[in-house]
Structure 1
Amino acid sequence: MPDRSSPETRAVLRAAVPPARRLLPVVLLGVASAGSSIALLAASAWLIARAAEQPPILYLSLGVVGVRAFALGRATFRYLERLTGHDAAFRQLASIRSGIYERMLPSAPDGLGMLRRGDLLARFTSDVDDLQFVTLRAVQPFVSAAIVLVAAVAGLAFLAPGSSLGVLACLVVGIGAAVLAERIAADRGARRLAPLRGDLQSAVVEHVTSLETLVAFDAAERSRTRIADLGERLARATRAQAASAGAAAAVMSALGGIAVLASIAGGLPQLASGRLDGPAFAVLCLVPLAIAEVAAAVPVAVAAWRTARVSAERIATAVPAEPPSGVVRPPAAAVAFPSGAGAPTLALRGVRAAWPETGTPSGPVLDGVDLDLAPGERVLLRGPSGTGKTTLAHVLVRFLDYGGSYRIDGVEAAELDPAEVRRRIGLVEQRPWLFDEDLRQNLLFARDTASDDELLAVLDRVGLGEWARERGGLYAPVGERGVLVSGGQAQRIALARAMLADFPVVVLDEPTANVDPDTAGRLLDDLLDAAGERTVLLIMHSVEVPAGVDRVVELTGRG
């Protein structure tokens, strides 16, 4: 099975193949299972023909034992082959998924904005699942079938060389024809199948997550029509692939009958001359059927390899090989983080930054920003939409790279490990992500060692204690993406996470954007009170200055 794929695709395919210590037992069990199938048919043919001659039962004992042994062996070896094969293949899938995560992490979160979530999900799930067939339907069946076919043809040559040559010729021509028929029918469909699956999943995710907006602008029907069209195109590609498999199976079924005729023709001269008895001739008549059944795994293996190669190409390009420009890269030799107690001092001078996906002929979103944050200070950063407030927040937590100078306790942030920066500076986003889990699980990932009492205490501090108890305590559901909580409650839950993580510096990005004006003032007061002695940078576009703010910084234009 030649591979003309890119080096990245070949690397993914190699990663899908288990190491030799796991693959070898699977291959040997496959050889034993396929060999038992051929031996069972040979023993059965010999036993039936020999029993028709009515010899003493003693002469049939070996055949009877052989039929029983090969029948049990075929089922047992087949079960063990499936068990060990799936175990080995699924272990490789787990490592491939981990590898995708590892490739995503350097670019996350801001470097992944250009990727479609639905298509990325399809690559992470369906395309990775397709790689199990590299082992289960391609490598192991191909190797096992090749070994068994060579042994079977050699066994026929021992009985009748003419039969062996006829069966060998049928195998070569039949397998080649089956592979060609499968390729003609499936090549286009297999290459379209995985991308169409990604497009469909992306369209469904976009429709579900944007349904309210689509309904409001009377665009839901067009979105559903697009999904239906993608579904029909995917169905056509799936039918094309199924038709190719059927064409290959039909060729291999015909191969069995032709191989029987070739074997009979090659054995008749020896039967007529008396060099071959009746039971042995019966073996020549029936064994080619079992050989054709084993050979049917070869075109299936070629088709599975082709499908897996398309999925491997999509996995290889699922995320950028290198983080895009503007995304933070850890320094080669990180400087030790300043070890002073309490909140650090932040100082920005002439900071400029841009988003990776826009990365930007129009220039940076931020340009020439100066900002100081003293320990324990509460600063309001305000300005109209589009002036780079959120961009600055992402610079502070080192999601985005920057130009100029950004110092933390006198040390340039670019020289520090970004993960260490994020352990001290926490971001509460405008739209905090809530998982479709209960309240407890949505808090625990901030500090997984926290007890239930600590979780309830932090909920009390952010003003959600009574609300949580009324809804069943920590096991209250929040719904998918927080659909069961209000915007203000989501902000309070996000702040509770920041407090559990014990960030000395907290950046609140538009905390009142999703609440009504009557609630906004009360929510801000509660958030600032709950922050305690932490340094707080409050980012808003409102002109009103909340109580408890020490200083106001205006952000206009690009800096």
Structure 2
Amino acid sequence: MEAGVPSSAGLHRASPGARRVLRLALPPVRRLWSAIALGVLSGGSAVALLASSAWLIARAAEQPALMYISLAVVGVRAFALGRAFFRYLERLAGHDAAFRQLPEVRTELYRRLVPLAPDGLGGTRRGDLLSRLANDVDELQNYPLRVVQPLATSGLIALLTVVGTFLLLPEAALGLLLTLVLAFVVGTLVNTWASGRAERRLAPLRADLSDAVSDLVRNLDVLTAFGALDTARKRVDDASAALTAAVRSRAVGVALTGAVVSVLAGAATAIALATGIPALGAGRIDGPELAVVALLPLAVFEVFGMVPLALGSWRQVVASAERIAATAPETLPSGIPVDRDAPVELVVRSVPELRLTGVGAHWPGASIPVLTDVDVRIAPGERVLLTGPTGAGKTAIAHVLTRLIDYSGSYTIDGVEAFSARQDDVRRIVGLCEQQPFLFDADLRQNLLFARDTATDADLLAVLDRVGLGEWAAARGGLDAPVGERGALVSGGQAQRIALARAILADFPVLIVDEPTANVDGAVADTVVRDILTTAAQDGRSVLIISHTRVPSELVDRSVRIEDGRVVA
């Protein structure tokens, strides 16, 4: 066992990355053991309740004086109350410990996702990523609640019950121990056979359904326009059917496991009677003790029945941990920039010079270079046009300059090598307006404030005026105007202007604008480009505008063309 991780030949073993996630999901010992102790008290009260009840009924049948059974009467009442009371406290303590640990898991997951975004997550589907961030992380709460706690609690209760039975009748204790071992082995095998595969597939199937629903909802208008709605709906139906089948298979496995445990509980009672009746005849035990020996297996199996189900929960937890570990690996893939342990302080008090010399780069996880021996210089205050065919490497240059992907060669900011500085420091100097700027499903104010959260409404209105959106914003209700999910309520040109407003608020000395006319019709493309370049240049900042369409020559200082990852002009 490692960090509370079960180990058995019949279990799905976790990879090193999943074990790291599971260790993070396990609450501290001081919290976990309090829940386990309360669980032992609850389970022990349940076993003691049945034992004391059996002894009381059998002893009362002998019609003794009340004084001889009064202690048992008090015990029955105490154990009945204790069973419910400790059970409540155990669930409270266990869930509190598990829920307190989930923020640690989410924080670590986001911390590891930040360096990967956006290029390191290019191959991950949106719905799948959402499922990993929500469902898979939530599934980890079952690790302490349905795996560690039941195994520890049931094991201790079973051990104590066997010892107690041994003190009354060793033969019955041996039979109880044998049936408990059989319940563990056979129950685990039956559960694995009936629902093991389904339990491991639940997390991926939930992700498939989430991804299908997300695609359908987000692209409903496009799917309807192109007559592909039925195909998308069928994808959702198929994903739902597959998930339903897996859940049903798991339910069958749980039912069969419960049946096996019940049968073996009856066998343990039969063995207790088979050994207890001769012992009663021989005078080794009396009638009330025979009742206790016969009914104890029923009580302990009620608690022990959680063990095979805990092993089924283990498979689901491991599957979720594997998916989380794959999403946020401990070792970043090649092409993802990493901060040095002792980064150089990057302090720029004016618009800096950017210089790429012999730069090569590839997208994260890819082996084919997207840039080869690129030389580009952006002087302070210069407006540079970067052109080239689709796939030539224009966006890759932008992502190198903003340290979203790593590079070989040299990239300096006022003579300071970029890889020796902190990435956040580089990104405070070099800003990027992407081809499809992301707009939150909130009002205009909130979409601007995250660039500078100290900005006043007057600051926001002023910057909207600078990018040509002042009248438009006023007509829509001002800063409270909604922009819709991913900017559904604004046009492509307006989205580009909002992104430019955010860049101005963030006060980047160097601004990169990637394909500003990609989502704009030709009638307004020149206006958008002109406004971007003139507005950005008003503060003396440098601008690198990436475009595969024509840009008026009077708006830029010079042009650079790239083809097949190399600068050709």
**3-state SS in 2 of match to 1:22:** helix
- Which residue number in structure 1 is paired with residue 550 of structure 2? 543
Q: Give the alignment partner of residue 245 of structure 1, picking from 232, 254, 259.
A: 254
Deviation string, structure 1 residues 109-151 (Cα, Å, up to 9, x no partner): 2122122333233233222222222211111111111111111
Q: Give the number of equivalent residue pairs.
A: 555
CA distance in structure 2 between the aligned counterparts of 1:74 and 1:464, rounded to whole angstroms: 67
Partner residue in 1 for 2:460: 455
Per the alignment, residue 526 of structure 1 pairs with: 531
RMSD value, Cα = 2.5
> Within 2, Cα distance between the matches of 1:417 and 1:410?
15
Residue 341 in structure 1 maps to residue 349 in structure 2: yes
Kindly report which structure 2 residues correspond to 1:127-206, keeping only aligned pairs within 5 A, or say none: 127-206=136-215
Is 1:224 the counterpart of 2:233 in the alignment? yes
| TM-score of the aligned structures, taking structure 1 as reference length | 0.91
Sort the Cα spacing of 1:197 and 1:470 in 2 relative to 1 into closer, same or farther, 3 A: same
User: 1:376 offset after TM fit, Å?
Assistant: 2.4
**Change over 3 Å in CA distance of 1:298–1:369 after alignment to 2:** closer
> How many Å apart are 1:103 and its aligned residue?
2.6
Partner SS, residue 380 of structure 2: coil
Residue 423, structure 1, aligned to residue 431, structure 2: no
CA deviations over 1:342-393 (Å, ceiling 9, x no partner): 2111223343433335431xxx433444333222233333334333222221
Question: How far apart, in 2, do the equivalents of 1:225 and 1:309 lie?
Answer: 30
Cα distance in structure 2, aligned partners of 1:346 and 1:238: 56
Which residue identity lines up with residue 542 of structure 1 in the other structure? T
Whole-angstrom distance in 2 between the partners of 1:326 and 1:170: 56
Which amino acid is the alignment partner of residue 69 of structure 1?
A
Structure 1 residue 282 displacement after superposition: 2.8
On the 8 A contact 1:113/1:357 being kept in 2, the answer is: no
1:320 CA displacement: 4.7
Correspondences of 1:350-361 after superposition (within 5 Å): 350-360=358-368
Is contact 1:458-1:500 (8 Å) kept?
yes
Alpha-carbon offset, residue 480 of structure 1: 1.6
Change (3 A) 1:454 1:69: farther
Q: Does 1:412 align with 2:417?
A: yes
Aligned pairs (5 A) from 1:266-285:
266-285=275-294
Deviation string, structure 1 residues 304-352 (Cα, Å, up to 9, x no partner)? 2222222222222224553333332334543221x34221112233434
User: Which runs of no fewer than 5 residues in structure 1 stay unpaired?
Assistant: none
- The CA deviation at 1:33 is 0.6
- Where 1:351 maps in the other structure, the secondary structure is strand
Deviates more, 1:321-330 or 1:243-252: 321-330
| SS of corresponding position for 1:253 | helix
Tell me if 1:397 matches 2:402.
Answer: yes
The answer as to 2:92 corresponding to 1:92 is no
Contact 2:380–2:542, Cα closer than 8 Å, also in 1? yes
Compute the displacement of 1:467 (Å).
3.4
| Distance in 2, Cα, partners of 1:291 & 1:234 | 34
Corresponding letter in the other structure for 1:351: V
Q: Which runs of 5+ in 2 are unaligned?
A: 1-5
The counterpart of 2:494, out of the listed 477, 489, 497, is 489
Once the 2 structures are TM-superposed, how far is the Cα of residue 212 of structure 1 from its aligned partner? 4.8
CA contact under 8 A between 1:207 and 1:223: conserved in structure 2? yes
1:185–1:241 contact (8 Å) kept in structure 2: yes
**Counterpart Cα distance in 2 of 1:128 and 1:475:** 34
Shift of 1:206: 3.7
How far is the alpha carbon of 1:259 from its aligned partner? 2.1
Change (3 A) 1:84 1:546: farther
The TM-score with structure 2 as length reference comes to 0.90
Deviation for aligned residue 1:243: 0.9
CA distance in 2, matches of 1:178, 1:379: 70
Describe the superposition over 1:369-427 as per-residue Cα deviations: whole angstroms up to 9, x where unpaired: 43332222333333343332222211211212334433211223233222211011100
Q: Is the 8 A contact 1:406 1:413 kept in 2?
A: yes
Can you list the C-alpha shifts for 1:466-502, whole angstroms capped at 9, x where unaligned? 4334444433322221112221221122122212222
Cα 1:278–1:435 change in 2 (3 A) is same
Residue identity matched to 1:497: R
1:60-79 correspondence runs (5 A): 60-79=69-88
In structure 2, distance between residues paired with 1:63 and 1:342: 86
The correspondence for 1:295, drawn from 288, 298, 304, is: 304
**Whole-Å Cα distance in 1 between the matches of residues 72 and 458 of structure 2?**
73
Indicate the SS of the match to 1:446: coil
Equivalent residue, structure 1, for 2:3: none
Report the CA distance between 1:275 and its aligned residue.
4.6
Residues 522-549 of structure 1, C-alpha deviations (whole Å, 9 max, x = no match): 3334333443312222222222317643
Cα separation, 2, equivalents of 1:287 and 1:404: 75
Q: CA separation in 2, counterparts of 1:340 and 1:288?
A: 76
Q: Deviations over 1:145-194 (max 9, x none)?
A: 11111111222222333332232222222332212211211222223333
Find the aligned partners of 1:215 and 1:240 in 2 and give their Cα distance: 35
- The separation in 1 between residues aligned to 2:456 and 2:449, in whole angstroms, is 9
Map 1:428-507 → 2, pairs under 5 A: 428-507=433-512
Give the CA deviation at 1:37.
0.7
2:384 paired with 1:379: yes
Alpha carbons 1:426, 1:506 under 8 Å: kept: yes
| 2:269 partner SS | helix
Between the aligned partners of 1:355 and 1:216, the Cα distance in structure 2 is 34
Partner of 1:11: 20
**Counterparts in 2 of 1:65 and 1:214: CA distance versus 1, 3 Å:** same
**In 1: Cα distance, 2:234 partner to 2:469 partner:** 43
Please give the residue correspondences for 1:40-59 in structure 2 after superposition, counting only pairs within 5 Å.
40-59=49-68
* Partner Cα separation in structure 1 for residue 14 and residue 362 of structure 2: 35
CA distance in 2, matches of 1:348, 1:34: 68
Quick one: which amino acid aligns to residue 112 of structure 1?
L
2: CA distance, partners of 1:340 / 1:142:
58
Contact 1:521 1:546 in 2 (8 A): no
| Helix, strand or coil at the partner of 1:433 | coil
What amino acid is the match of 1:420?
Answer: D
Q: Whole-Å Cα distance in 2 between the matches of residues 7 and 279 of structure 1?
A: 53
SS in 2 for 1:356: coil
Q: Which residue of 2 aligns with 1:31?
A: 40
